[in-house]
Amino acid sequence: MYKKSIAIRCKELLCIPLKLFLIMKLSFLLCLVSILQVSAAPSFAQKISLDKSNASLSEALKEIHQQSGFNIFYNAKMLKKAVPVNVHLQNTDLGEVLKQCFKDQPFGYIINNNTIVVIPKPIETRPVQDIVIVGQVKDEKGVSLPGVTIKVKGTNTGTQTGVDGSYKVSVTDNNAVLVFSFVGFVSQEIPVGNQTKIDVVLKEKTSALNEIVVVGYGTQKKVNLTGSVSSVTGETMNKRPVVNTASMLEGLAPGVQINTGSGEPGNESVSIRIRGNSTFSGAGSDPLILIDGVPGSFNDLNPTDVENVSILKDAASAAIYGSRAANGVVLITTKQGKAGQMSVTYNGNLGYASPTKMYKLVTNSAQYMEMFNQARINSGTTDPNSLYPQDQIDLYRNSADKLHYPNTDWLSLIFRTAPTQNHNLVFTGGNEKTTYNVSLGYVNQDGIERGFDYKRYNARINLTSKINDHIKFGTNVLLKSGTRGAVAGTPSSPSNWDGSSMDLFLSAMSQAPTYGPYLTDGSGHYTYKAYDFEYNNKNPIAVLDQNFRRITNDYAVNAQGWFEVQFNKDISWYTKGAVNFNMDKYKDFKATLDEYNFKTNQLETSLDLGKGLTDQDEQTVYTNLYSYLNYAHNFHGHNIKAQFGYSIEQSKYQYLQGYRKNFPDLDLQELNAGGSDIQNAYGTSNQWALMSYFGRLNYDYKGRYLLEANIRDDGSSRFDGANKWGVFPSFSAGWRVTEEPFVKAMNLTWLDNFKLRGSWGQLGNQNVGNYPYQALLNLTGNYSFDNSTLTTGVAQQALNNPIIKWETTTMTDIGLDVTIFKNFNLTADWYNKTTSDILRQAQVTAVVGLSAPTINDGVMNNRGIELGLSYNNVVSDGALSGLAYNVGVNVDHNRNKLVKFGQTEIGDYTINQNGQPWNSFYMLQVTGIFQSAAEVASSPKQFSDSTLPGDLKYKDVNGDGKIDQNDRTIIAGAYPKLNYSFNLSASFKGFDLSAMMQGVYGVKSYVSGWGTIPFVQGASPTTDWLDAWTPEHPSTTMPRLYFGQSAPDKIGRRSSFFLQDASYLRLKNLVFGYTIPSQVTKKIGIDRLRVYFAGDNMFTITKYKGLDPERYGNGDLQYPQNKIYSFGVNVSF
Amino acid sequence: MKNRIIITIILITSLFIGACKKALDLNPADQIATSTFYKSKADFDEALAAVYASLQPEEFAVGIGFRDGFTDNGYNQFNSGSAKDFVQGNFNPTTGGYETAIYNDSYTGIARVNLFLQNLTNYKGADISDAQRKVYEGEVRFIRAFFYFQLYSIYGDVPLVLQPLNLSNQKQPKVPAAQVLTQITTDLDYSISNLNTATYYANGGHAAASSAKALKARVLLFAAFGNTGTPDPAMLTQVRDLCLDLMGQYKLSTNFEDIFRDATQKNNTEIMFSINFLAPNNTAPWDMYYGDWDACAPLQNMVDAFECTDGQPYGISPLTDPQNQFNNRDPRLAKTVYNDSVYFGPGKVHHPSNLRPTGYGIIKFLEPNNIPYGFSTLSQQDAVILRLGEVMLMYAEAQNEIAGPDATVYKAMADLRARVNMPAYPAGYTQVQMRDRIRHERRVELAFEGLRHYDLLRWHIAGPVLNAVQTSLINYHFEDKFYHWPLPQTEIDKSGGVLVQNPDYN
């Protein structure tokens, strides 16, 4: 009977997959003990006679050994604790004899085959009333897990799940905690509480070894990857309480530089650069963004819906997207439903944003007036009618009447702390056949600059259904409606970026502190100036009050339908069809603004900011159909996978714009309400199409040698004839050294994975105008001969280039993936990326009289290294038992070089020259400030300036004894030397903490104008200028004060004085959360309740003197970045 | 069931694939392919409009006032055209502004003319008569001459392009200025012989023979002085004869200001050629630039140049009123310059939104009916390029140089001044005295019409005049090399050594 029972157990074990066998082995002993205890009186063939009084146990056992022939093992030392044996049995069953011998002994015993093992006796449990708990354990995909160990915490009792994942366990009281553990999965502890049925979903451990990575048209095991792919989970991204989804990727992947240009709601100008700027052409360096396989926009996406983001960085992984993959590919997958009861999750947070930094301006009127006078005099204006009289300065300084003599801080009038709220509701569930994931999202973000805000509604419905075992189909539908409010912009500008946030900002900067926004007479009239000679821009408060707004509505509908057929074990077929509909509408309204004198209350000017209503509709309809066959076959350690597919895409864009100028009633803001005397209408449409064939071949031998080849053949409507089609191949190989038998033989237990990989491939870029090869005449040059009618003009404006073709990027990548001590991962890559046949404007001489055609010319190179390190661990004992933590570092370095640009082109303060980075800084170098007339006299003459002590001293770079434009020189810093980030996350006893620091090193930004140069349009100087050079205070850092734009050239020339170090390191994100124990929340019907605090851009270490070193490029003021403190809650029902 | 589904899917998919074969052949919906144009006279009329429209860029039209910011007349506070860099002597091949704009936009216009002529030659349609062909050719060659004169007068030697160019022949060397001049006069002679002999104002806005004559007179007057400031009498004789001819055909506008105001430009008997604008879709920001921004502020010495009503210089005349500078002055002062704010009478007042750096602004080009001026003001004043006033001054100047201050010289000046009720010159001037008066008269009559710069160059007095300017906000510095502007550095670079920079700019 005993033997039989063992046999049955073994059979069961064999049914379980091999990997489970290992765990079974571990718990073997435990099983046997329990089996023995269950079988109350085992009977054996052997009969034994034993007659002992006060004998030692060892003596008795010896006797049993001799009679039965069973081997008996015991620890002699242990046996000293035995009590004397009194047994008097004749011809009795072995089991009964042993039972008698061990009665009252502090030991137990185990019988295995012909062996008896003496073991310490298990501690007896108190006989209390047991609570029986039942339940089922599944993995995240809803598959039952057999063999999961369930232990009652702190005891030796426990059980395992059966074949269907179900279990039954007894506990002694409500305070018991069940521990569910299984190899390859994260252990879970569940307090019993009042429950009698506990179903558990175990999460698979994401160790680098079993991670699945999304790649082009499929997935791939991370260990088998031969290309360079970074993967970020939706969960990691969603830690940041920001609204823009692309911003959330910042600092999370090496080699992926994400820069959030501004904090303007709905208009963050996020730039994504994968391995640098790969081209200088208008084709651009933006990566291809795919949402569930179809091109889409980050802006349309609700970040909550993101399951995973894969970034394809090298040619091998991106080549399957061919002609649009030159700048890398970002693959976003959205969350799918999970079988099981419907779960409802609510995530919400409320945040408060303020500028990360604000200019410190001189806001004391008397101080402003004195500096104003000084700057005017230094700039050559000595006319007393253009200077503040001393008695007025004294009044501002001494008068208690701050109504009439204010110290207005204009920036504080337009900047504020602004709330952002974010609510998401997710429903997920389904049955074996059909699953769903439905989400609703709402964001309402007020801008820290008044007049700017953004609202977004999102909905997503993802459905998957199995028709039968072979056919699956599904739909992914995204709906989005966004509304962006901004201050009105320039009516003729069709671009989204109209700079109106900057315009309002500079208008506030340009105001003098000597007056407030409104007159003091209570009329509510807006102030123009206090003194005629003051300079300023429009009154920003008037613009805000008058509601001169541009309201942009953007709607998106992305609908996808797909199906997958599994013909047999080896062959499957996948097809997806998608339609993306995007519509952007805006209305921009302005009227004239009456502004009055602060002192006299008289009307001074009716400001005309370009009045009227512009109403614009833009829409894009994009369709895509792709279909591919997959084949996979394994034999004798050879694994072959092949894929072949086809794709067709079309996109049509159209826009329509109407304008009327004069509106009798300012509240009626529709075109029909405007006068028809001055009106305009514009509209056009264009389209492109792309047809492609693609294929992939994978081969590996025992996971040791990995090979992959990709190819894509793209046909584009943008090119003609032989150039219409372009082929983009890639090859890659990997060697998993740790899979080699000789390495395995070395038994390096610490080395879990060591993989070398290399790839080479070519990618394309076709992002030129839609009809670049055609010779076209433009409807341009209308002219009125008779001053009453306008004759339409037609002219050729550009040369054409019928032989235009693809821009080609060739990339080589060598990488290394290492995992040691299970938890420590390293990924390193070196790459060399060269873009040739760049689609640039030809350098055409002006005498041709036509603008340049786009031609294929120029070569640019990017080379760099990337490093990603991570360590994760769970502390399993000690006081910190249960502490799970993860630390990571990403670092990358990229070097950009123009290999072949053609003729050097010098811009305002940049240069493009062969051998140098694209758009390198090029300007005069400032070596200091002249301290004395003698120093001026002994230094090279600077242009035709009348240089004075206190002026900037330029370096005579070419040593010709004079300073002129020939002394301009290249200054490094156009691109960062290093991008880096650190992240940390930890969880312990319901608390979780995560932090991310992100930094950029070695980059400069050219900044002049408002906020740098004093008195630009009258703008208050920053407080730095209190330290300006004067004979009494000979500063070595700040030159003499001059008056803004009328300052002499000697101070305003493009020079390194205005080039600032924009390196920074900042605490990008900090999250601290607490999950309330579920035994507490269950009482109110909540499965999980987590509350958290999240902070963003909390502090920054930088030498940058302007607002925020993270900005979208050079130039003046930019909308500041947000520092956010937010509080949120996650609830699951 | 399973098979049915699969077959359906295959059918739908292949339908899609089959239907999209033509998908890659797409054409724009709002542009015309070259191959479908130039098929009728109407097409040539549209192409002709685009040739005229190539005259509309700022530096040839609304920016004529800014050209005076390169002289002792005005101060371009926003550095329009890079005038501040120029007058301060910080002028080099990379300065940009009008240095590149005039070069680039002239060749853009020349290219339109050359393409027009090429297509006209290729066109065999009968709907264009031989006579019409000649008129077309005459008009566009007049415009080509205008552009080459722009190039000739400020750069000297430039590439001479008479055929459409492409990428293979785009690198063109300079030709000597004399050859450019020959081309200009050849083009203008063709226009004079083939264009309508009616006056410009009766010619529907198209260039007339008289327009070409007036331009030719200006070109020859400029050329006559060469590089020394000493005129060539033969050329001056031609100038005189052309002017005489025109003076017989045109009449002075009764009111000086009518020449520049919108409503009175139409059929104005003084205008010989203008670059036209029409609101709301074809406008030029005259009122915003000059009336609201004060983008070109007259210098005090320009204001002082206007005589008192007795014909005596301001400051010397007993009528001088330092308390009210505009009192007792040549009426052209108040019609050219405003003091602090624009004033056309009660209710017609505009306070410029920008400061008046010199205290003055230009009123000459402003339209009273457009007040208040601002960003959305739609100004449609025409840029008057050639007018009788200038022709009379050219006549007087040429005749005085050839024959001395004879009665016809006196009469031309007396007629011009009589329009604004200014007294005739006193009798008995020597040639030199008369020369000075005529030159002074040009500065006042033609102030801010963009001609002062040419005058300083051809008289070869730019150095002494500009280096003496004390009334600006910036320090003037003129070097002799500035008599010819540098060619834009980008052009030198792109030509790969074919185009050679002007002397002293390397």
Cα B92 from chain centre: 23
What mean pLDDT is predicted for residues B456-478? 93
Interface of B with A in 260-289 (CB under 8 A): 265-266, 276-282
Q: Which residues of B touch A793 (CB under 8 A)?
A: 46-47, 49-50, 52-53
Q: What angle do CA A879, A880, A882 make, to 5 degrees?
A: 125
**Average pLDDT along chain A:** 87
In terms of Cα–Cα distance, which of A98, A93, A149 is closest to A119?
Answer: A98
B162 contact A CB<8A: no
Q: A770–B26: do the CB atoms touch at under 8 Å?
A: yes
Give the B window 290-309 contacts with A, CB below 8 Å: 292
Peptide bond into A949 cis (omega under 30): no
Complex-level ipTM: 0.93
Instruction: Tell which residue, A455, A458, A552, has the closest CA to residue A501.
Output: A552
Angle at A182 between CA A176 and CA A183, to 5 degrees: 150
Measured in angstroms, the CA of B32 and the nearest CA of chain A are apart by 5
Q: Where are the alpha helices (DSSP H) in B266-387?
A: 286, 300-305, 331-336
**pLDDT recorded at residue B90:** 84
Judging contacts by C-beta atoms under 8 Å, the chain A residues touching residue B373 are 608
CB contact under 8 A, A792 and B165: no
Q: What pLDDT is recorded for position B15?
A: 58
pLDDT value, residue A182: 81
Which residue in the set A650, A661, A845 is minimally distant from B495, CB to CB? A845
pLDDT of residue A491: 44
- Which residues of chain B neighbour A648 with C-beta distances below 8 Å? 16-17, 20, 23
Q: CB contact, 8 Å: A846 with chain B?
A: yes
* Inter-chain touch B372–A770, beta carbons under 8 Å: no
Lowest mean pLDDT among A195-204, A805-814, A1069-1078: A195-204
Q: What is the mean pLDDT of residues A657-679?
A: 89
Q: Do B50 and A661 touch (CB under 8 A)?
A: no
Q: How far is A903 from chain B (nearest CA, A)?
A: 6
DSSP calls for A506-571? HHHHTS-TTS-SB-TTSS-PEEEESSTT------HHHHHHTT-EEEEEEEEEEEEEEEEEE-SSSE
Does the pLDDT of residue A502 top 70, yes or no?
A: yes
pLDDT exceeds 60 at position B479: yes
The pLDDT tens digits of the residues spanning A567-582 come to: 888 999 999 999 999 9
Least confident window among A185-199, A573-587, A830-844, A947-961 = A185-199
Out of A63-72, A1036-1045, B35-44, B224-233, least confident range: A63-72
Q: What is the mean pLDDT of residues A59-73?
A: 81
The reported pLDDT for the residue numbered A12 is 38
A533 touching B, CB under 8 A?
yes
Decide: B329 and B315 in contact? Cβ < 8 Å: no
To the nearest whole Å, the CA of B229 is away from the closest chain A CA by 27
Side-chain-side CA neighbours of residue A299 (13 Å): 22
Closest to A776 (Cβ–Cβ): which among B32, B85, B170? B32
Instruction: Provide the pLDDT for residue B20.
Output: 55
Best residue of B170, B467, B471, B476 to probe chain A, by most A CBs closer than 10 Å: B170
Arithmetic mean of pLDDT, B149-160: 96
Cβ pair A996, A1068 in contact under 8 A: yes
Using CA coordinates, name the residue in chain A closest to B52.
Answer: A783
pLDDT at B12 (0 to 100): 65
Region for A950 from its dihedrals, namely left if φ exceeds 0, alpha if ψ lies in -120 to 50, beta otherwise: left
Query: What's the pLDDT tens digit per position in A123-173?
Result: 554 555 678 888 888 877 667 788 888 888 878 778 888 878 888 888 888
Least confident of A44-48, A266-270, A981-985, B273-277: A44-48
Q: Does B97 touch chain A (CB under 8 A)?
A: no
B489/B505 Cα distance (integer angstroms): 10
Q: Is B103 on the interface with A (CB under 8 A)?
A: yes
Residues of B in contact with A780 (CB under 8 A): 50, 53
Q: Which residue of A has its CA nearest to B207?
A: A785
Using a CB–CB cutoff of 8 Å, tell me whether A381 touches chain B.
yes
- What's the CA angle centered on A361, arms A360 and A362, to 5 degrees? 130
Name the residue facing A691 among B20, B32, B171 (closest C-beta).
Answer: B20
HSE-CB of B149 using CA atoms within 13 angstroms: 27
Residue A11 has pLDDT above 60, yes or no: no
CB nearest A565 (choices: B6, B26, B499): B6
Res. A397: pLDDT tops 50:
yes
B42 close to A (CB below 8 A): no
> Does A380 contact B375 at a Cβ distance shorter than 8 Å?
no
Q: What is the mean pLDDT of residues B176-181?
A: 97
CA distance linking residue B377 with residue B372, whole number of Å: 8
The half-sphere exposure of B276 on its side-chain side, counting CA atoms within 13 A, is: 29
CB atoms within 10 A of CB B21: 10
Which positions ≥6 away from A402 have C-beta within 8 Å? none
Q: What is the mean pLDDT of residues B122-150?
A: 96
Task: Report chain B residues whose CB lies below 8 A from the CB of A724.
Answer: 24
Distance of CA B141 to the CA centre of its chain: 16
pLDDT at position A1102: 95
Chain A positions in Cβ-Cβ contact with residue B297 (cut-off 8 Å)? none
CB contact under 8 A, A782 and B491: no
In this prediction, residue B339 carries a pLDDT of 93
Q: What's the CA angle centered on B92, arms B86 and B93, to 5 degrees? A: 125
Rounded-to-integer distance, Cα B158 and Cα A582, Å? 51
Confidence check: pLDDT of B236 > 70 = yes
Q: Provide the chain B residues 222-261 that lie in CB contact (below 8 A) with chain A.
A: none
Query: What angle do the packed helices B209-224 and B130-155 form, to 10 degrees?
Result: 20
The minimum CA-CA distance between B131 and chain A, rounded to whole Å, is 20
Section A472-478 average pLDDT: 95
Residue A96 — pLDDT band, cuts 50, 70, 90? confident
Name the pTM for this structure.
0.80
Phi, psi of A220, rounded to the nearest 5 degrees: -150, 145
Q: Nearest C-alpha of chain A: how many angstroms from B248?
A: 24
The predicted structure's pLDDT at residue B389: 97
Residue B2: pLDDT band (50, 70, 90) is: low
- B27:A771 CB<8 A: yes
Residues A295 and A288 sit within 8 Å (Cβ to Cβ): yes
A770 touches B at CB < 8 Å: yes
Interface test with B, best of A784, A792, A968 (most B CBs within 10 A): A784
Instruction: Indicate whether A41 pLDDT > 70.
Output: no
**What value, to the nearest 5°, has the Cα angle with vertex A510 and ends A507 and A516?**
85
Question: Predicted confidence band at A29 (pLDDT cuts at 50, 70, 90)?
Answer: very low
Longest dimension (CA), chain B: 116
| Per-residue pLDDT at A173 | 80
Considering only CB atoms, which chain B residues are within 8 Å of A468? 1-2
Least confident of A106-115, A306-315, A809-818, B497-506: A106-115
